[in-house]
Each structure stands twice: as C-alpha cells, then as structure tokens.
Amino acid sequence: MRRIRRCDRGQVFPLYAVAIVALVFAALVFFVFGQAAVVRSDAQGAADAAALAAAREARDSLDPSFDLALLKPKDWTDLLKGGAFDGALACGAAEEFARRNDATASCAPSTLRFTVEVTTNGTVGSSVVPGTDGMHAKANATAEISPRCELGSAPSAPASQSPGTTTPTTPDPAATGPTPSPSVVFKCRGGVTVRFDPMNPDPWKALARSLFDVRLVS
C-alpha cells in the first residue's frame, strides 16, 4: 500500500508542474493583450488630438482673399457654410500633435472635415507572443467644423435727413477705397448674439471661435 501511494504522488507532481507552467503562460499572454490595449488607447488619443488640431487650425485661419469689412449678406451666408477657411496648415497641425504623442499621422482634409490616421512609434514590446516587438497600433479620427450661428440682420442705412438740413454733394477727399459694410449680427445657439463691426473688427480667430464649433464625429 505504501509503495502504491508513493507511486501516485510521483505521477501527480508532473501534472502540477504542467498546470503551473500553463497558468504562467496564460498570465503572460493576458499581459500582452493588456499592453496592446494600452498602445491602442494611446493611438486613439493621438488620433483624436491630431484631428481636432487640424480642424481648429483651419477654423482659425481665414482665406486671404476674404476682406471681412467688405462682405455682403450673401458672402456672410457662404462664409457660415465654411467657404472662408484656409486649410493649408491644417494637416501640418495634425502631424505636429501626432509627434507630440510619439506617433506619425496622415491627414485627409476637406472643407469642413479632417480625417487623420495615426500610427504609434512605440510597439507592444517583446513577449511570449511572436511578432509583438514590431507591432504598432493604428487609429483613425475625424473632426468637423460645425457652424453654430446663422446670419441675423444688419442695421439699415442711416435715415434720410429731415427737411432744412443740408447734405454734402461732394465726396469726402479723405475717404478712399470701398465703403465698409454695416455691422453684421449673428444669431447663435443658446440665444447668443454675435455682432461684427467692420469699422472696428475683432481678429478673425476670435470671431471664428464664436461662429463655429469643432468636434469629433468618429
């Protein structure tokens, strides 16, 4: 009987050893998947930041051909549809943000949307799973410039003078160039009113941030 028990113990020990090795291997595999998830999360964060950077850069940059002081109501309507953005530097901003997040980026711009694909420079790292040391994470994100205002009204021209007053018939010699348009009023979401005075204009960046939102759409 004693010999049989000793023999059983000798057979069970290898099974325990195999089970322990299997558990350790499984733990290492789960660790690899965890590392991959972290790298993937880093890639998505970099893609989101890069896409937002591209859209914000485009929104804040006015096409040089636009002179806000001379725009007519129809021009302002077209501007609110995204027709005044200068997106030349937008993808450069996306690539810069990707570099700050230790990644590279490719950018596909359009009038109001910017889609960015990011690839991390870092990898999952060496592990028990073959090929992970060269595995980079990729992620995509799209940011959109969204109008938040519509054209309201512009003040009417000054009323005609009352009888008895005189109106100069000769132009003012000091006045040169086209006459600026009257102030423009925009009605925005949340009951906010934005007013643009071409005689005392705010910088385009400040106006653009009042008229447009930038958001992630995917």
User: According to the model, what pLDDT value does residue 30 have?
Assistant: 53
3-state percent helix, strand, coil for the chain, nearest multiple of 5? 45, 25, 30
* Residue 131 pLDDT > 80: no
pTM of the entire predicted model = 0.70
Where would I find the H helices in the chain? 2-59, 73-78, 90-100, 204-211
- Domain for residue 167, yes or no? no
96: containing domain:
2-160+175-216
* Alpha carbon distances (Å) from 193 to 93, 131, 183, 187, 196: 31, 57, 13, 5, 10
- Domain for residue 59, yes or no? yes
- Domain for residue 170, yes or no? no
Give me the residue label for tokens 């972290």. 38
* Alpha carbon distances (Å) from 23 to 15, 19, 28, 29, 197: 12, 6, 9, 10, 72
**Domain tally, the chain:** 1
- Domain for residue 140, yes or no? yes
- Domain for residue 168, yes or no? no
- Domain for residue 56, yes or no? yes
* Alpha carbon distances (Å) from 167 to 159, 170, 178: 12, 9, 20
The span from the CA of 109 to the CA of 51, in Å, is: 10
pLDDT (average), residues 170-199: 75
* Residue 149 pLDDT > 50: yes
User: According to the model, what pLDDT value does residue 53 have?
Assistant: 94
Where would I find the H helices in 60-153? 73-78, 90-100
> How does pLDDT run across 89-109, given as a tens digit for each residue?
999 999 999 999 889 999 988
- Domain for residue 166, yes or no? no
Facing residues of 216 across strands? Answer: 143
User: According to the model, what pLDDT value does residue 165 have?
Assistant: 41
Under the banding of pLDDT at 50, 70 and 90, the label for residue 168 is very low
* Residue 7 pLDDT > 50: yes
* Residue 117 pLDDT > 90: yes
Percent of the chain with pLDDT over 70: 64
DSSP-based three-state secondary structure for 13: helix
- Domain for residue 169, yes or no? no
